[in-house]
Structure 1
Amino acid sequence: MGGVAGSGKSGGINVLMGNLSACQDVVIWAIDLKRGMELQPWASCIDRLATTPDQARTMLRDAVTVLEARAEWLTANGRRVWDPTPEHPALVIIVDEYAELADDAPDAAGDTDSIARRGRAVAVTLIAATQRPTQKAMGKGAVRSQMDVRVSFRVRERKDVDLILGQGMLSAGWHAHTLNAPGKFLLSAPEHDTPRRGRAYLLTDAAVAEAAERHAATRPALDEVSRLALDEARMAPVSEPSAPVTPSQEDHAETALREALDGAPDEGLPIAHLLMITQLSRPTLYRRLAELVKSGRAVQVGYGSCN
């Protein structure tokens, strides 16, 4: 999904979020590197929201873990396709401003490629939106080639039409550079092969808030297959960071961790919060949490949170 600023791309994402959040067989993960500005209104319907490059890397790595676990489960059960249900939901990852991800976390390209190539059968879907449809942002690998549903809002230059919709689309009559009002778009998909203009509904802030509140209560949880795979990956033994940690730093981190866990609410504390207050590296924190869980001094209440 692409288009310049003011073309209605954000409105299109709101329409998409409104529909996805109403589906009780879809878990939504989202990446918004504008510190959550665009997708925060839907936070109550989003299972995980990444707003920094590090969080985005972790989320995409976890998505690959999920798709691999689901693939193994399908094979073990003699099945070829993950059929979404509320108990076994699809996983949809929305990346708002994909160009920022390409700039700030280029090392995540391997994971996005893997999701694009292997995600369909296991119901792990990537949706990328950008207002900067550069060659670098759109890429030349699997991410671009595997996206057979493409939406172009107004673009500034004629060449951007081919970057979003595919090579030769401008010559074939897909003139997204002539779209003349916010929200107007061209949709290219297997069942939409004619350049016919459409227009996204405009959802006001009040409508978004009302929809998010209404749908939040019916959001499904991630399936057990995926949760167990993430738990195992998070708590697996990892190597220590190369930089030495002094005894005083260890004491401070241990004290901060214990105080945080002692005062944690019933729903636990997110890993991102524990990383911030302890200043530990992610591998060290996961190792320490695994030790506390094993000894019964902490409880993992969900993936990415402990108390």
Structure 2
Amino acid sequence: MNGGRQMRRHARKMRRYGLQPMIVINRDDQLPDVAAVVIGRVLWRYRSELAPISSGIVLALVGAVLHVAYPQWWPLVLCATVVQASALVLFRERLGLSRLERWYAATAVMSAGAWLTLATALGIAYRPLPQLLVGGVLVLGVPWWVHRRRRAKVRVDRQIAAWPEIAESIGLTGSRAQSAMVDVWGWRARFALARGQTIQDVTAKVPAIESALGTFRGAVRVYPTRDDKANRFELRVLDHDPHADAIVWPGPSVSSIAEPIDLGPFEDATSARVLLLRRHGLFGGVAGSGKSGGINVVMGNLTACRDVVIWAVDLKRGMELQPWASCIDRLATTPEQARALLRDAVAVLEARAASLASQGRRVWEPSPDLPALVIVIDEYAELADDAPESITDTDSIARRGRAVAVTLVAATQRPTQKAMGKGAVRSQMDVRVSFRVRERKDVDLILGQGMLAAGWHAHTLNAPGKFLLSAPEHDVPRRGRAYLLTDQAVAEAARRHAELRPILDEISRTAIEEARAGIALRSLDVADSSTSVPATGKEDGTSEAILWAMLSGAPDEGTPVSHLIAGTGMSRPWIYQRLRDLTKTGRVIQVSRGRWRAVSKHSE
């Protein structure tokens, strides 16, 4: 005590005379401080390993405080425990945990909550609560200590601790880690950039980051943060490629067009869900990149919806979409059929728009009685080459189809201006799905101008089915992989969903028939009707001309008799008499009950 006072007095005298006092360190006084620092560092370094023990200590302290201050709160503690455990079981996708991990976490929460409830009501010293706490920490701690994710968390913490050296070696000096967490297939961390650095600088350093972290090529992803700050970025590192193998389709994810369709999982195990109601979609990529697989996923979900009528155009003679024929209301496999289908689609949207206007409504709400109409076109470039006049109709559908629930989904290899026509089709596509492309410039063709420079590198996708999804709710370049539907899965889904298919609403059906009747009237030369229409021995040439035109322009499934009556203005007996006469001469066939059409030249 006296020695300390003498040293301080001596130091004051030396400073008075302008001299620097010599500081003598007492090593015995310093040892406790050094030990505290070492212990603190060890505890921090091994905080993951010590988490079960730390949780037990915190639980005991909280129980003691609650018992002394608020013992009547035990029902609230019990309710909070049940809510937390239920959330862990139910909200699996948002948490990014596997089923086993969720049940372990729920068990731990329930055990801790039950103990805390009893400790709040009875006190932590009430037997056998102390023994239960120690035993629970040991039993529930074993899975934690041996679990892969905990070990990965320790490894990630060490990599994050080494980030300042990594950042200096790759040219990102001054950047620092803010947070990190381990997920299903790797880990991700949030970083702050030094002044003047941008996320574009980080994107250019991705190969260097992979080398510094010792990962495999293509394991590192760089994304903007959710708050979209210019001086922040999120780094995602994969331990292995989660999309290395094909992922079997689990079945439809929707029962209504108003729900987002699950195309496949992203690399963080979340679902690539996209809404197609009032949006047009574009699927692009080179041959063999997985476009047809992506279309199959869309078809598998749409066919499960009771409020969607599906029309399809497949000019490869139905090679891709024919397996879904039992669920497709109309399938066009020739240029002539494609022209008729798209012309009828325009008639539908115009009739629906007129109906909405007369009712003072702005949008068509899909239902089983008033279904949405989705038109799927495989290899859109073939349509532009073989039926170029139909591009005007697709352009009209793209511009005006949203409000009336007429949706266009097109697939093509390279959606150039020539392939998509000179209209506004491509610019109206809200949903863009890019599979692998051969040339870097094709990224901007499919996803939009400037997307390549923004980090949407579809040319680096290295397996069929891998894709990048651009949509209003997906504005970050995250890799996904489309589900795989085998031929057997397609056949089974088509058979199962065929019974769910709705029919087109009366407004749309009437519009189609009226449009066909109008075309027939415009194309007929009534004066030459006797030479252009098969003779039936009757005198009403005009009505017969209209009848023959409607039968000749009928789709493969035929035209209902009710529409023939409305188009000709004649009675039902008159219609059936003419149909019998035409059938005898081999000009007309009955497709199904109440539906007729002319025999095609090919059939003849």
- The TM-score with structure 2 as length reference comes to 0.43
Query: How far apart are 1:256 and its partner, in Å?
Result: 6.1
Cα distance, 1:80–1:6 mapped onto 2, change above 3 Å = same
Cα distance, 1:102–1:266 mapped onto 2, change above 3 Å = closer
Q: Distance in 2 between matches of 1:118 and 1:131?
A: 25
Q: Distance in 1 between matches of 2:416 and 2:374?
A: 24
* Structure 2 partner of 1:50: 332
Classify the secondary structure of the residue corresponding to 1:95: strand
Contact residue 256 and residue 277 of structure 1 kept, 8 A: no
User: What does residue range 146-295 of structure 1 map to in structure 2 within 5 Å?
Assistant: 146-236=428-518, 237-240=521-524, 247=531, 250=534, 258-260=584-586, 264-267=590-593, 271=597, 274=598, 276-277=600-601
Structure 1 residue 33 corresponds to structure 2 residue 315: yes
Contact residue 138 and residue 163 of structure 1 kept, 8 A: no
Query: How far apart are 1:5 and its partner, in Å?
Result: 1.0
Query: How far apart are 1:213 and its partner, in Å?
Result: 0.3
Contact residue 138 and residue 164 of structure 1 kept, 8 A: no
User: What does residue range 58-207 of structure 1 map to in structure 2 within 5 Å?
Assistant: 58-207=340-489
Cα-to-partner distance string for 1:214-241 (whole Å, 9 max, x where unaligned)? 0001100000110111111122322337
Cα-to-partner distance string for 1:158-184 (whole Å, 9 max, x where unaligned)? 111111111111111111111000000
Query: How far apart are 1:142 and its partner, in Å?
Result: 1.4
Q: Distance in 2 between matches of 1:173 and 1:117?
A: 29
Cα-to-partner distance string for 1:11-70 (whole Å, 9 max, x where unaligned)? 111100000000000000000000000000000000000001111111111000000000
Q: Distance in 2 between matches of 1:35 and 1:67?
A: 27
* Structure 2 partner of 1:13: 295
Q: Distance in 1 between matches of 2:516 and 2:421?
A: 30
How many residue pairs end up in the alignment? 276
Q: Distance in 1 between matches of 2:587 and 2:603?
A: 15
Classify the secondary structure of the residue corresponding to 1:137: coil
Contact residue 185 and residue 197 of structure 1 kept, 8 A: yes
Structure 1 residue runs without a partner (length 5+): 281-307
Q: Distance in 2 between matches of 1:200 and 1:267?
A: 41
Cα-to-partner distance string for 1:134-160 (whole Å, 9 max, x where unaligned)? 331134531111111110100111111
- The TM-score with structure 1 as length reference comes to 0.83
Classify the secondary structure of the residue corresponding to 2:430: coil
Higher RCO (CA < 8 A, seq sep 6+)? 1
Classify the secondary structure of the residue corresponding to 1:43: helix
Cα distance, 1:259–1:20 mapped onto 2, change above 3 Å = farther
Cα distance, 1:192–1:264 mapped onto 2, change above 3 Å = same
Contact residue 587 and residue 599 of structure 2 kept, 8 A: no
Contact residue 256 and residue 278 of structure 1 kept, 8 A: no
Q: Distance in 1 between matches of 2:450 and 2:596?
A: 46
Larger Rg: 2
Q: Distance in 2 between matches of 1:22 and 1:90?
A: 13
Contact residue 28 and residue 93 of structure 1 kept, 8 A: yes
Q: Distance in 2 between matches of 1:176 and 1:270?
A: 49
Question: How large is the RMSD of aligned CA atoms in angstroms?
Answer: 2.6
Cα-to-partner distance string for 1:173-214 (whole Å, 9 max, x where unaligned)? 111111000000001111100010000010000000000000
Q: Distance in 2 between matches of 1:25 and 1:213?
A: 18
* Structure 2 partner of 1:288: none
Cα distance, 1:128–1:263 mapped onto 2, change above 3 Å = closer
Cα distance, 1:260–1:266 mapped onto 2, change above 3 Å = farther
Query: How far apart are 1:264 and its partner, in Å?
Result: 1.8
Q: Distance in 2 between matches of 1:123 and 1:57?
A: 20
Q: Distance in 1 between matches of 2:303 and 2:603?
A: 35
Give the letter aligned to residue 343 of structure 2. Answer: R
Query: How far apart are 1:260 and its partner, in Å?
Result: 4.6
Cα distance, 1:208–1:256 mapped onto 2, change above 3 Å = same
Cα-to-partner distance string for 1:280-301 (whole Å, 9 max, x where unaligned)? 9xxxxxxxxxxxxxxxxxxxxx
Classify the secondary structure of the residue corresponding to 2:426: helix
Query: How far apart are 1:92 and its partner, in Å?
Result: 0.2
Give the letter aligned to residue 418 of structure 2. Answer: K
Q: Distance in 1 between matches of 2:589 and 2:524?
A: 27
Classify the secondary structure of the residue corresponding to 1:57: helix
Cα distance, 1:205–1:176 mapped onto 2, change above 3 Å = same
Cα-to-partner distance string for 1:99-158 (whole Å, 9 max, x where unaligned)? 100111111111111100000000000111012433311345311111111101001111
Structure 2 residue runs without a partner (length 5+): 1-282, 537-579
Cα distance, 1:6–1:270 mapped onto 2, change above 3 Å = farther
Classify the secondary structure of the residue corresponding to 1:122: coil
Q: Distance in 2 between matches of 1:73 and 1:259?
A: 41
* Identity %, equivalent residues: 73
Give the letter aligned to residue 106 of structure 1. Answer: P
4+ aligned runs moved over 6 Å, structure 1: none
Q: Distance in 1 between matches of 2:584 and 2:445?
A: 51
